[in-house]
Amino acid sequence: MSTAIQRVVVVGNGIAGLTAAETLREAGFDGELTIVGDETHAAYSRPALSKALLLDGDDLSSHELPPTTHGATELLGVRATGLDVDRRLVKLDDGAALPYDRVVLATGSRARRLSDLPEELILRGLDDALALRKRLAGRPSVVVVGGGPLGMEIASGCLTAGCQVTLVSQGVPLILQLGPYLAEVFVKAALERGLTIVETGSARLDRRGGDARVVLDDGAVLEAELVVTAVGDVPNTEWLADTGLANRGVVQVDSRGLVRPEIAAVGDLAAFPTPYGLRRIPLWSSAIEQAKVAATALVRGDDTPPLQFRPYFWTEQFGLSLKAVGHLPLDGEPTYVEGGPGGPALMRWSRDDGSGAAVALNYRIPIPRLRRVSREAV
Amino acid sequence: MRIVLDRPRCEGHGLCEEAAPDLMHLDEDGELVLDREEISDADAALANAAVRVCPVAALRLA
């Protein structure tokens, strides 16, 4: 089948696009491969941006990935503006149109913003991270808006840089993502390290006297030299508006990551079948697993085993390193497989439906073993 | 082809072991052990997958 495919275009140069390109080659595609990326940088590791890259002294390489082997033509600093599904063309902002036999939609997502103010900093791309890192050198006072993993990682990085940091969160930080038990563990660690946490129903940004400030639902105002927001992401699907492929801002795919036999969508913009319905799971290993299956399916079709995604999530913040397998958040209390509360620990949660989740906290364990722990009742 | 480990970068996620369990594993202390550093052509795809899945780029092919 691969002999019939002459040209593949991968739109997006994040880990999803990169993995798709490498996998196309492994699946036997030896034709003309083009990757379009709107950033001028080579593909990098996004999880590192809010972790090691914010912290490292002189090391500015923690986000770098190994050299690619796909041999694609890389068009970097170029944005896709449209897709013509009938004529099979990817239209670019430099006026060019790339013909394809197969196309991978992997344009990811961008940070959701609370304002149009240039003072509102976000952390999504490498340039954002380098800009934030530079600002932190002056040890400004910081307000971080957003109590999810990214907001908490940023707050942790700012604290480590020596800043005074206030975190604004809708409810208890991390409770939506991790559940109450683990959220409490992280909040305790954050408070001990000097983070100020402000819970609010909503927050907005405005400007007075040239400085951005955060206004809470009760009218209280938080001022700081630096305002960083981490309030979710928005899939980049506007360029697909005329195609009918994007539905409510996401691209829905089948269990092999395909929208049509010649069109795959992978990474943060794709909603794929999970045990909990069609979901977007904008995480590192999710992007990689989606891309592997979808790129293989573009070449080999229905012979490709469908995606059986097994979640893996990790975060590093406030001196805690967490690795989790299984679907989050987690209700109730865990069983301690190793260790105990307050120390390095290996925990397991069981669900009524027989599924489980395992969490390692400051506890080095290979993922395959963590997965076994998640499956074994103790 | 060889797999090269940059040990200080390794955070012990073990996604590489999951991708290529015949080529590497984490030991009891969570330290990565390369079971085969010289990679045959037959294992090249597996080695590539292991290198690519590492979120901290602690592995590379040389």
Q: What is the pLDDT of residue A346?
A: 97
Tokens describing residue A351: 């669900």
- Locate the chain B residue with the closest alpha carbon to A19: B52
For residues A332-354, average pLDDT = 92
pLDDT beyond 90 at A79: yes
Handedness of CA A352, A356, A359, A363 (dihedral sign): positive
pLDDT, greater one: A240 or A327? A240
Q: Is the peptide bond before A149 cis (omega within 30 degrees of 0)?
A: no
pLDDT digits (tens, 9 = 90+) for A320-329: 999 999 989 9
> Helix A15-26 to helix B44-53 angle, to the nearest 10 degrees?
180
Give dist(CA A279, CA B11) in Å, integer.
28
CB contact under 8 A, A364 and B29: yes
Q: Rounded CA gap, A173 and A170, in Å? A: 7
Contacts of B29 in chain A (CB under 8 A): 364
End-to-end CA distance of chain B: 6
Give per-residue pLDDT as tens, A59-69: 788 899 988 98
Find the mean pLDDT for residues B32-59: 91
- Strand order of the β-sheet with A120-122 is A120-122, A226-229, A142-145, A165-169, A196-199
Is the pLDDT at A56 greater than 70? The verdict is no
Which amino acid is residue A346, in one-letter code? Answer: L
Chain A nearest-CA distance from B6, in A, is: 11
The single-letter DSSP state of residue A185 is H
Q: What is the CA radius of gyration of chain A?
A: 22
CA A360 and chain centroid, separation: 20
Tell me, what's the pLDDT at A54?
A: 85
Secondary structure E strands in A73-190: 73-76, 80-84, 89-92, 97-99, 102-105, 109-111, 120-122, 142-145, 165-169
Q: Which has the higher per-residue pLDDT, A156 or A377?
A: A156
Q: What is the pLDDT of residue A1?
A: 47
Residues of B in contact with A285 (CB under 8 A): 15, 53
Between CA A86 and CA A112 the distance in angstroms is: 32
- Please enumerate in sequence order all residues whose Cβ is within 8 A of that of A67, keeping only pairs 6 or more positions apart, or say none: B60
Name which of B30, B55, B56 is nearest A366 (Cβ-Cβ).
B30
pLDDT tens column, B5-40: 999 889 888 899 999 999 999 988 888 999 998 999
Write down the pLDDT at residue A2.
44
Mean pLDDT, range A365-373, rounded to an integer: 89
- Phi, psi (degrees; rounded to nearest 5) at A211: -115, 140
A366 and B56: CB-CB below 8 Å?
A: no
CA distance A200 to A46: 28
Query: What is the DSSP-derived secondary structure letter of residue A378?
Result: -
B44: closest CA of chain A, how far (Å): 10
Cβ neighbours of B52 in A, within 8 Å: 18-19, 22, 65-66, 288
pTM of the model: 0.94
Mean pLDDT of A152-161: 97
Report B:19-58 residues touching A (Cβ under 8 A). 21, 25-26, 29-31, 45, 48-49, 51-53, 55-57
Judged against a pLDDT cut of 70, whether residue A8 lies above it is answered with: yes
- The pLDDT score that the predictor gives to residue A287 is 97
**pLDDT tens by residue, A198-231:** 999 999 999 887 788 999 999 999 999 999 999 9
Q: Which residues of B touch A371 (CB under 8 A)?
A: 18
Joined tokens for residue B38: 């010289």
Q: Give the pLDDT mean for A299-310.
A: 94
CA distance A73 to A71: 7
- Token pair listed for A7: 């040209």
Q: Give the least confident one: A108-112, A265-269, B8-12.
A: B8-12
Interface with A, mutate which of B23, B25, B53 (most A CBs under 10 A): B53
Q: Determine the Cα–Cα distance for residues A184 and A342; give it in Å rounded to an integer.
A: 11
Integer CA distances (angstroms), A233 to A203, A212, A230, B2, in order: 17, 21, 8, 39
Distance from CA of B37 to the nearest CA of A (A): 17
Residues of B with Cβ-Cβ distance to A19 under 8 angstroms? 52
Class in CATH terms, B3-61: alpha beta
Across chain A, mean pLDDT equals 94
Coil, helix or strand at residue B20: coil
Q: Which residues of B touch A62 (CB under 8 A)?
A: 9, 56
Q: Select the residue from B3, B4, B15, B17 to test the A interface by mutation, using most A Cβ atoms within 10 A.
A: B15
Q: What number of CA atoms fall less than 13 Å from residue A336's CA on the CB side?
A: 12
What gap in Å lies between CA A294 and CA A301, rounded to an integer?
A: 9
Q: Do B45 and A312 touch (CB under 8 A)?
A: no
Provide the 10 A C-beta neighbour count for residue A253: 27
Task: Report the percentage of chain A scoring pLDDT > 70.
Answer: 98
Query: For residue A28, is pLDDT > 80?
Result: yes
pLDDT above 70 (res A114): yes
- Per-residue pLDDT, averaged over A260-266, amounts to 97
In the predicted model, what is the mean pLDDT of residues A119-128?
96
A-chain residues within 8 Å CB-CB of B33? none
For chain B, how big is the Rg over CA atoms in Å? 10
